[in-house]
């Protein structure tokens, strides 16, 4: 009989985010291994009374909820719904994914039902709250959040995380190394076109013919440091009058960035596309000569590896990125991409200009970047690591399935 894993998730498809795309990759590869997967989302999916929803062939159990419920109430709702799903599906173990609001109900239900619980910490709850502006580092809420996160990590049977930076943060909370496993972010290279010519019609429609294009595709959060990209471009324009900045996506910083562009008189040089369908994003990537990832140096970016640079490497795109810890863990400077001093628009401008001057080397860098993800960052390899994690968790309950 195959292993049955119940995944407890903050949110899922049809919502699009790095979180939901990582989840989908995990589910797809676990099914390929012959395991059964069950999927429950919490009230963070959104208010509603639906108990189940099928999206793109995946069945998600939902937690009915109303708008505006507090965190404790959300956890109570998750606990009640999780108990129902456990009784109905009889999983072998519970795999709770960040945030800790999912881990605590999973631990409560797991202990009652004698089910192992694996907790996957994709980011620390307290640092995510700082980034969202709902608290400050060192505040009472920050310390309470960190305490709850540590509590969940200590009581989980096994802990997984997405990168070495977070592994270190988990370890200093007193979690034994043998209970922590890194399941790194990866890509399915078959989903990304490599060496494809840009769409001439799209280039024309955006006014990019004959231009040198730098850009970013993703969500416009404060920690992405996109204001630095606009400032770097402003500094470069006197030497590169045909420079254009393509900003693909949207988010909380969009209005601030547009105001910055107007104040700098760069309305003709900076193009905001707005959000585009996920299936169309690659067409925009292919218009960009140099992708920029100017993440700011804060705890979140120092500890957590992003997914976007891996997607760029899979397409063989040229990229520059700030030297925060999350980028240093992914990017080999001079081989798969180029790093610059975080928080410094002058350093970003120099990095872009240096890369533009290295065009004869671009074919080699493209091959190296694509090769890196093909060999070291495939979802099949990453997800295969769960086998040992699940075996260790089940062994604590004297269960030793063949998986």
Fold agreement (4-186+378-396, 189-376): yes
Domain boundaries, the chain: 4-186+378-396, 189-376
**Domain 189-376 homologous superfamily, CATH:** Glycogen Phosphorylase B; (3.40.50.2000)
The CATH code of domain 4-186+378-396 reads 3.40.50.2000
pLDDT of res. 144: 85
Least confident of 34-43, 167-176, 277-286, 356-365: 277-286
pLDDT single digits (tens) 288-335 = 999 999 999 999 999 999 999 999 999 999 999 999 999 999 999 999
Per-residue pLDDT tens over the stretch 16-31:
888 999 999 999 999 9
Our CA angle for 167, 40, 134, nearest 5°, is: 55
Look up the pTM and report it.
0.88
């Amino acid at each position: 009989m195959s292993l049955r894993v119940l995944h407890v998730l903050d949110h899922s498809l049809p919502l699009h985010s790095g979180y939901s795309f990582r989840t989908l990759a995990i589910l797809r590869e676990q099914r390929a291994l012959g395991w059964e997967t069950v999927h429950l989302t919490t009230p963070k999916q959104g208010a509603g009374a639906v108990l189940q929803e099928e999206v793109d062939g995946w069945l998600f159990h939902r937690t009915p909820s109303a708008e505006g419920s507090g965190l404790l109430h959300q956890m109570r709702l998750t606990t009640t719904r999780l108990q129902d799903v456990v009784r109905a599906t009889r999983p072998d173990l519970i795999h709770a994914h960040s945030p800790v609001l999912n881990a605590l109900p999973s631990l409560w239900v797991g202990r009652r039902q004698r089910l192992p619980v694996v907790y996957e910490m994709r980011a620390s709850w307290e640092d995510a709250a700082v980034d969202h502006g709902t608290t400050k580092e060192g505040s009472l809420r920050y310390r309470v959040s960190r305490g709850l996160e540590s509590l969940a990590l200590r009581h989980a049977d096994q802990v997984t995380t997405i990168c070495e930076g977070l592994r270190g943060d988990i370890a200093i909370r007193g979690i034994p190394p043998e209970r922590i496993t890194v399941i790194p972010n990866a890509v399915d290279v078959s989903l990304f076109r490599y060496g494809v010519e840009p769409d001439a019609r799209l280039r024309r429609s955006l006014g990019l013919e004959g231009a040198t294009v730098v850009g970013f595709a993703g969500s416009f959060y404060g920690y992405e440091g996109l204001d630095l990209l606009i400032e770097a471009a402003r500094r470069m324009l006197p030497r590169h009058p045909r420079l254009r900045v393509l900003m693909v996506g949207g988010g909380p910083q969009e209005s601030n960035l547009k105001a910055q562009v107007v104040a700098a008189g760069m309305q003709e040089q900076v193009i905001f596309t707005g959000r585009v369908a996920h299936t169309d994003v690659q067409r925009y990537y292919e218009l960009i000569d140099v992708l920029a990832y100017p993440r700011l140096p804060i705890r979140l970016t120092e500890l957590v590896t992003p997914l976007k640079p891996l997607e760029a490497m899979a397409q063989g795109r040229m990229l520059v990125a700030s030297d925060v810890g999350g980028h240093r863990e992914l990017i080999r400077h001079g081989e798969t991409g180029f790093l610059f001093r975080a928080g410094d628009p002058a350093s970003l401008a120099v990095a872009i200009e240096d890369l533009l001057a290295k065009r004869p080397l671009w074919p080699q860098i493209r091959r190296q970047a694509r090769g890196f993800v093909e060999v070291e960052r495939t979802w099949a390899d990453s997800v295969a690591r769960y086998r040992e994690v699940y075996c260790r968790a089940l062994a604590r309950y004297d269960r030793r399935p063949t998986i």
